Chains A and B, each alone.
Chain A
Amino acid sequence: MKIKFLFLITVAIAVTACDPGSPEGDSGFQAGGAATALSQSEFNALSADEQYMVANKLMGTMFRGVAVEDFFDMNAGITNLRPVDSSFLIRTQNKLSSNLSNAQLLTYDSIIDGLDADGNPDPDNAKYLFDTDSNARNNERAKQLPLARIKEYPISRDMFVHWMAYVLTNTIMFSPAEEMESTDFTDVQNMYRFLVLKLEEGATIRQIVRSNLPSLARWRVSRSAENHALEAYELYLGLFETEVDSYRGGIACKDLYLTNEDDGYLLRRTDFPNTTPQLILGTNYITTCDDLYDVIAGHPLLIPRVVEVIFNYFVELRGDNLAYRRSIINAIVNSGPQTFEDIFTAIIFSKEYLLNIERPKTFEENMMPLLDALKWHPGENAGEVDELIFRRMTEFSDQQIFLNGMGWASMEYKIGRLPNVPIDGLSFANHHKSMREEFLMNRSFYDPSGNNDGFIYAGNSSSDVKTFIANMSLNDYIDFLFLGALQRKASASEKVDLIDVYATGVTGNHLTTNGVGDQIVRSGRYDEIAQITFDYITRLPEFYYFRSVN
Chain B
Amino acid sequence: MKRRNFLKSMAAVGASAVLPNTWPTAFNLSTMYQAADAAIDYAGAQIAAPTIMPQVINIYLYGGPSELSGNLTNIVDIDSSSQNSYANAFGSGLLRFQNDPSGGLITPNGFWSGAGGDDMQFLLDGNHMSVYRTLMKRKDGTRSHRESILMSQKGSLDIENSAGVGTRVAAMLYQNRGSFEGGTSFADGSAVDMDDLVLPFVSFEGETRVFATDPDYAVPLLLRGTTLNEDLEDPYTRQNNGNATKLDAMVSKKLADFGYNSRYTNVINSNDLREYLAQKIGLIQSASGILPTVSELADQATLGLPNGSTRMSYPNNNRYSDRIQAAVTLAIENSSSMYITVGGGLGGWDDHNNGIDNYPDRMSQLFDALKSAALHIKYSGTQTAGVAGTPGGGVNRRTDNIVINVFGDFGRRVNLNNSEGWDHGNNQNLYTIGGAGVVSAANGGANRQLGKVVGRTERVGDPGTNNQVTEPQAGSYEIEPMSVAASVYSYFGVQNPEILTADPDRNPAGDAAIDETVAGEPALF
Please give the residue numbers on chain A whose beta carbons come within 8 Å of chain B beta carbons, in ascending order.
177, 179-182, 222-227, 230, 234, 237-243, 246-247, 250-251, 254, 257-262, 265, 270, 281-283, 300-301, 304-305, 308, 316, 319-320, 322-323, 326, 329-330, 333-334, 358, 360, 400, 405, 407, 412-415, 418, 422-430, 432-433, 436-437, 441, 493-494, 497-498, 500-501, 505-507, 532, 535-536, 539-542, 544-545
Contacts and interface: CB of A to CB of B under 8 A. Distances in A.
Given A243-B142, A261-B354, A497 B206 contact: no
Nearest to A330: B18
Nearest to B270: A428
Contact of A423 (B146, B242, B270): B270
A414 B347 contact: yes
Contact of A415 (B10, B242, B266, B346): B346
B358 A246 contact: no
Given A240-B147, A422-B206, A505-B246, A224 B353 contact: yes
Interface in B11-30: 11, 13-14, 17-18, 20, 22-24, 26-27, 29
A403 B17 CA distance: 38
Interface in B286-303: none
Given A223-B419, A532-B243, 13 more contacts: A226-B424, A239-B27, A246-B143, A247-B467, A316-B266, A330-B18, A400-B235, A414-B347, A422-B207, A425-B270, A426-B236, A497-B249, A541-B271
B379 to A, nearest CB: 30
Question: Which of B36, B242, B271, B358 has the most C-beta atoms of chain A within 10 angstroms of its own C-beta?
Answer: B271
Nearest to A227: B352
B346 A260 contact: no
Interface stretch (B177-185, B225-233, B306-314, B428-436): B225-233
A261 B357 contact: yes
Interface of B: 10-11, 13-14, 17-18, 20, 22-24, 26-27, 29, 31-33, 35-36, 141-147, 161, 203, 206-207, 215, 225-229, 235-236, 238-239, 241-243, 246-251, 253-255, 260, 263-264, 266-268, 270-271, 273-274, 276-277, 345-347, 350, 352-354, 356-358, 417-421, 423-424, 466-467
B354 A240 contact: no
A405 B230 CA distance: 12
A425 B267 contact: no
Contacts, number: 253
Question: Which of A223, A270, A333 has the most C-beta atoms of chain B within 10 angstroms of its own C-beta?
Answer: A223
Contacts of A322: 10-11, 14, 33, 35, 161
B155 to A, nearest CB: 18
Contacts of B347: 177, 179-181, 414
Given A247-B466, A254-B418, A433 B235 contact: yes
A316 B213 CA distance: 14
A422 B255 CA distance: 22
Contacts of A227: 352, 423-424
A414 B264 contact: no
B236 A223 contact: no
Contacts of B18: 304, 326, 329-330, 333
Given A181-B354, A227-B423, A360 B20 contact: no
A225 B418 CA distance: 8
Nearest to B214: A319
B274 A425 contact: yes
A300 B23 contact: yes
Question: Which of A179, A270, A322, A430 has the most C-beta atoms of chain B within 10 angstroms of its own C-beta?
Answer: A322
B33 to A, nearest CB: 6
